[in-house]
Amino acid sequence: MGNSCMSVLIKKQAEKYGDRVALKYRDYAVGKWLPVTWRQFSEQVEKVADSLVALGVNVQECVGVFSQNMPECLYMDFGAFRCRAVTVPLYATNSEAQVHYILENSSIRYLFLGEQYQYDVAYRVLNLCSSLKQIIIFSPSVKRASDDRKSIYFSEFLKVGETADVREEVEKRRAEAVSSDLANILYTSGTTGEAKGVMLHHSCYEAAFAAHDKRLLTLSDKDVVMNFLPFAHIFERAWSYYCLLRGCLLCINLRPQDIQKTIKEIRPTAMCSVPRFWEKVYAGAMDKIHEANGITRRLMLDALQTGKKYNIGYLSKGSVPPLWLQVKYKFYDRTIFSLLKRTVGIENGNFFPTAGAPIPKRVEEFVHSVGINLVVGYGLTETTATVSLNWMKDFRVGSVGHILPGLEIKFGDNNEILLRGETVTKGYYKKEAVTRQAFTEDGWFRTGDSGYMKDGFLYLTDRIKDLFKTSNGKYIAPQAIETKMVVDRYIDQISVIADQRKFVSALIVPEYTQVEKFASDHNIAYTDRKDLLQKPEILELFRMRIDTLQQEFAHYEQIKRFTLLPEPFSMKKGELTDTLKIRRSVLLKNYASEIEKMYED
């Protein structure tokens, strides 16, 4: 095994780029984006490595990072790689129970954390954790508990390495760093059961980098990348590492809810996201079309039709559009489409990867039609993110693209996607039985997703364990129904109920502002949100919209009854995972009485 590339990556880039800006982050105190050069980045990485060794962190020891996206997260990762330590990222929104479990499971002695929420959670579990020795706080504005004797600030941590005589040891470790070293343990919260620590070795990332070099051909050091998804998520993590390898400028978005604002301040050329982001862009555009007057509306709709013909009808299939269509498309591209992209903040776009959940067909068609290079892909934590991706002009709407070079694929029982390759995890940390179950006898990884190949493109059909069986013995794919419904501008979140039930029903979180606007436009009086959602006119509105959207489903797959909820699903109540996937088992418990009511005759 050769030397691990990530142990020297930042140092090499600093030698190449010097005082060029590598990272930017928004300082909320001054309301400005502050730059970090490659040289400064590399210096911080060296300091982290020195201080970790000075604290006595051993080779391949786990170090926890519990934070929102901050430059410090990257300093920690690459500093740890430099001295052969392993980083274990925790989602900034993790609960006490989750944090406690992860710290215990990976025997963490040193936990680095971001802001006040993470400090408060960590401080409460501090005395319950047998291994935890010290907390190190990134943000200097965090207020510590009066009796806290176990935490220091990041600035103090960096000084630990300055006084100790550790240079030689750090250099020795760096020289001995190999691809077979463990890089990260990523805990997947999963929609069911206990978190599992996915082990990703340096070799997994290196294989992923090599494969992406053959695919993401236009990514270069001219790209400005917005980091919006959490670094704890494999998609953002592997993508960010790869962007650094390519010399891109990373702009780190600290607060996920601020993305609409920060994206306009940065106007990135690339950003990976989950489909929810594009669903919001689509809903916003549909509202504009809906509110426009006759001629403007006709123009907008014609622009979308033109874009669809041009980008999906011709370019995606490798054909040249006729001249009249080229001229017409150019006109709309310079007017309507460029205005839309400027409004969102993506007019400089190179390409935008999206994965993590199925993207509604209507949304995908819309994004391609307006000329945004959406790169739809599919991946898992266990496969170091990407398994397959559509690329630029070589895509099929509804598919998740071509398999990445170096990965082998075959289909098992129930058309389950089975994978083999260098990017696939070697297993789950300290969970041998679970690891054994995850692989076939001959070493293929079971993804739990079913799908098929057509013309070289992979199509997903559903999560095998998510298939519902009604009490009439019919199988229902809830995600397919939910993906169809969530494009509606009146629907924000939806969870389909059908398992062991005689028909399909749904819990729906409406887009409250749209419903309130509808009520005021139609003079519907109400006392509060709960009252509004029970009004016959509102129920009729939803009934009509659901029926329109579900026409293509078989009769037994259609939603017969639904309940409108006055509060959204939340992480706080355990209803959503850290990556905003619905935990069905929790919803069944939290909304038991509402669900039973739908099945009363």
Is there a domain that residue 525 lies in? yes
- Average of per-residue pLDDT across 393-400: 93
What pLDDT is attached to residue 334?
A: 96
Dist. CA 226–CA 82, nearest whole Å = 25
How many structural domains comprise the chain? Answer: 3
User: What mean pLDDT comes out for the span 371-380?
Assistant: 96
Percentage of the chain lying above the pLDDT 70 cut: 99
Answer yes or no: is 260 within a domain.
no
**Residues 489 and 419 both lie in one domain:** no
Q: Is the pLDDT of residue 184 over 70?
A: yes
In this predicted structure, the answer to whether residue 182 has a pLDDT above a threshold of 50 is yes
Mean pLDDT on 193-201:
88
Is 216 within the bounds of a domain? no
The per-residue pLDDT for 251 is 98
Residue 185 is assigned to a structural domain of this protein: no
The pLDDT of residue 458 is 97
- 491-497: strand order across its sheet: 491-497, 504-510, 559-564
In a domain, 16, yes or no: yes
Last residue of a domain, one of 412, 442, 464: 464
**Are residues 460 and 498 part of one domain?**
no
- Residue 20 shares a structural domain with residue 168: yes
What per-residue confidence (pLDDT) applies to 578? 76
**CATH code, 92:** 3.40.50.980
Query: For residue 469, what are the β-bridge partners?
Result: 475
For 398, counting Cβ atoms within 10 Å of its Cβ (0-12 exposed, 13-18 middle, 19+ buried), the class is middle
Q: What are the counts of helices (DSSP H) followed by strands (DSSP E) for the chain?
A: 22, 25
The answer to the question of residue 218 being in a domain is no
Beta bridge partners of 504: 559
- Pair (422, 492) in one structural domain: no
pLDDT digits (tens, 9 = 90+) for 250-261: 999 999 889 999
Same structural domain for residues 497 and 406? Answer: no
Same domain, 429 and 530: no
- Domain span at residue 417? 275-464
Three-state DSSP class for 394?
A: strand
pLDDT the model gives residue 1: 38
Which of 427, 447, 464 is a domain's end point?
464
pLDDT at 347 over 60: yes
CATH code, domain carrying 321: 3.40.50.12780
Residue 417 falls inside a structural domain: yes
Task: For residue 203, give Cα distances in angstroms to 45, 315, 338, 382, 475.
Answer: 21, 36, 41, 13, 40
Region 145-165 average pLDDT: 94
Co-location of 438 and 322 in the same domain: yes
Task: Give Dmax over CA atoms of the chain in angstroms.
Answer: 76
Same-domain pairing of 405 and 494:
no
Greater confidence (465 vs 195) lies with: 195
Look up residue 456 and give its two tokens: 């070289």
pLDDT score at 193: 59
Residue 221 lies in a domain: no
3-state secondary structure of 417: strand
Q: What is the pLDDT of residue 262?
A: 96
Check which CATH number belongs to the domain holding 506 and give it: 3.30.300.30
Query: Which pLDDT belongs to residue 190?
Result: 58
- Residues 485-498: what's their mean pLDDT? 92
Average pLDDT on 370-377 reads 96
pLDDT of 461 > 80? The answer is yes
* Residue where a domain stops, chosen among 216, 240, 264: 240
- For a pLDDT cut of 90, what percent of the chain falls above it? 81
The 10s digit of each residue's pLDDT in 25-84 is: 999 999 999 999 999 999 999 999 999 999 999 999 999 999 999 999 999 999 999 999
Residue 192 has pLDDT above 70, yes or no: no
Helix (H) or strand (E) holding 37: strand 32-37
* Parallel/antiparallel/unpaired status of strands 385-389 and 134-137: unpaired
DSSP string, 458-504: EEEEEEGGG-EE-TTS-EE-HHHHHHHHTTSTTEEEEEEE-TTSSSE
pLDDT in tens, 500-557: 888 999 999 999 999 999 999 999 999 999 999 999 999 999 999 999 899 888 888 8
In a shared domain, residues 494 and 582: yes
Q: Are residues 39 and 80 in the same domain?
A: yes
Where is average pLDDT lowest: 198-207, 420-429, 542-551?
542-551
What would the pLDDT profile of 80-134 be if each residue is shown by its tens digit?
A: 999 999 999 999 988 888 899 999 999 999 999 999 999 999 999 998 999 999 9
Angstrom distances, CA of residue 495 to CA of 199, 425, 479, 546? 31, 31, 9, 13
Q: Are residues 460 and 471 in the same domain?
A: no
Query: What letter would DSSP give residue 566?
Result: S
User: Are residue 304 and residue 236 in the same domain, yes or no?
Assistant: no
Q: What is the mean pLDDT of residues 142-170?
A: 95
* CB-based contact 559:480 (threshold 8 Å): no
E strand spans, 311-456: 352-354, 374-380, 385-389, 402-403, 408-411, 416-420, 445-454
Local structure of 414: helix, strand or coil: helix
Higher pLDDT, 479 or 314: 314
Q: What is the DSSP letter of 533?
A: T
Mean pLDDT score across all residues of the chain: 93
